[in-house]
Structure 1
Amino acid sequence: MEMTAVDERRMTELFENIDVPEGVKIELLRGEIVMMAGPDLVHNRIVRSVALQMPSDRWEWLLTQDIDILSEQSEPVPDLVVLESGAGPESGRLLPSAVVTMVVEVVSKTSVDRDYGVKRSLYAAGKIPAYLIVDPIVAHCVLLTEPFGSGDEADYAVQRISKFGESVPVDVLDVELETGDFGILPGVRRHRRP
């Protein structure tokens, strides 16, 4: 069912005014409000490891930053956002997707379908050059580059899968990402994504 402009405005107003409990992450994904519990230590340590590998002379990295994907009525909150130093606005709650170079999502047992599905399409629709999925359930990274298309049809033309322990060349950042210290989520049923 298509949402009307009025429905979309109401959903955005509701999203912007919702009272979020401490430790809960909230996102607006194509008109749907999604809430998640706070992340596991494995998750946070992976995010920290990726962030520390970004050369700070050229790249700025942000945590829990809302991204504005104008064409999508979406405000996802990636686990990590990487942009050129000084590329974003000085202040504000939303960072335009046009200034983002890479987003990183670390998969949790409840985010598998979102991270590999709707977010892949959303970030491609937002023309974000690189989307890195770090998956501690199956111990691999999926680097997606060369976004194309719009709406639900948006996707990335190039997909590269690397197992934990292998380096991930992120050409758009001119970085070789080391993954040897990435942890694995214990006791979570494996999936078959991407």
Structure 2
Amino acid sequence: MTIQPVAPRHLLTVAEYLEIGEIELGYSELVEGRLLMSPSPAPDHNSAGLELAVVLRAGLPEGMRVILDIDVDLQLAPPDAPGTVRRPDLVVVREEAVQRVRHDGGVLRASDVLLVVEVVSPGSTRTDYVHKRGEYADAGIPHYWIVDPTEPISVLACHLAGEFGYADGGSVTGRFAATDPFPVEIDLEALR
């Protein structure tokens, strides 16, 4: 028997959202206290995320971890107010953040995240390029990459630019190279 979650009668705090736990089909996020449910991603989406994680993991400096599909408290509201928890396709954090969650519980925080990556799915384009871009910048996450797995596969690498939110140099196809937050070079066609 599958139990379907019931929409809450009030806006949720991050703690209340975490009490709900996992759902069987798809995934959920919390946006300004509202529970959002999304279907599970398609195979191309998951393959691109996994391949990117493998490439990043191989080149990460010591003390950093790449994690797929995990809740991140964006810390945009006080603990007793309606909160925002996104589930990025991939994050890079320092090992200390993983240890803290392992020992103390809770979730990763925006302040733990060095890089957040979203892989665009049909139906998530505006969310990934507009809504999440603004939320991740507001949360102070230094780097945000948007991977679009359609032909040709591309990456839009964004970095915080002070009061202006994220700045970027435009989408890149073919080979992508970055020096910050760590040196990496990626053959984007290999993400298929």
Fold match (TM-score > 0.5): yes
Matched with 1:52 is 54
Q: Which amino acid aligns with 1:29?
A: V
Aligned equivalent of 1:64, options 69, 90, 102? 69
C-alpha change, 1:35 and 1:162, in structure 2 (3 Å) is same
Percent identity reads: 28
Q: CA shift at 1:11, angstroms? A: 5.7
C-alpha change, 1:112 and 1:63, in structure 2 (3 Å) is same
Q: In the aligned structure 2, how far is the partner of 1:13 from the partner of 1:23?
A: 22
Q: Which amino acid aligns with 1:85?
A: E
Q: Is contact 1:123–1:131 with CA below 8 Å preserved after alignment?
A: yes
Q: Which amino acid aligns with 2:160?
A: E
Q: In the aligned structure 2, how far is the partner of 1:171 from the partner of 1:12?
A: 30
Q: CA shift at 1:166, angstroms? A: 2.1
- Provide TM-score, normalisation by structure 2: 0.78
C-alpha change, 1:97 and 1:11, in structure 2 (3 Å) is closer
Q: In the aligned structure 2, how far is the partner of 1:110 from the partner of 1:146?
A: 26
Matched with 2:115 is 102
Unpaired segments ≥5 residues, structure 2: 1-9, 78-82
Aligned equivalent of 1:41, options 39, 43, 48? 43
- Provide TM-score, normalisation by structure 1: 0.77
Aligned equivalent of 1:167, options 161, 167, 176? 176
- Secondary structure, aligned partner of 1:108: coil
Structure 1 position 83 matched with structure 2 position 113: no
Query: For residues 178-189 of structure 1, what are the structure 2 equivalents within 5 Å?
Result: 178-183=187-192
Aligned equivalent of 2:165, options 137, 145, 155? 155
Q: In the aligned structure 2, how far is the partner of 1:86 from the partner of 1:179?
A: 30
C-alpha change, 1:68 and 1:21, in structure 2 (3 Å) is closer
Matched with 1:143 is 157
C-alpha change, 1:178 and 1:113, in structure 2 (3 Å) is same
Q: Is contact 1:69–1:97 with CA below 8 Å preserved after alignment?
A: yes
Q: In the aligned structure 2, how far is the partner of 1:169 from the partner of 1:94?
A: 28
Unpaired segments ≥5 residues, structure 1: 1-6, 184-194
Residues 117-171 of structure 1: CA deviation (Å, up to 9, x unaligned): 111011101111100000123632111102544xxxx721x21234332223252
Q: Is contact 1:124–1:148 with CA below 8 Å preserved after alignment?
A: no
- Secondary structure, aligned partner of 2:141: coil
Matched with 2:32 is 30
Residues 66-103 of structure 1: CA deviation (Å, up to 9, x unaligned): 11112242100100010123344242241111111000
Q: In the aligned structure 2, how far is the partner of 1:155 from the partner of 1:22?
A: 35
Pairwise CA RMSD of aligned residues?
2.4
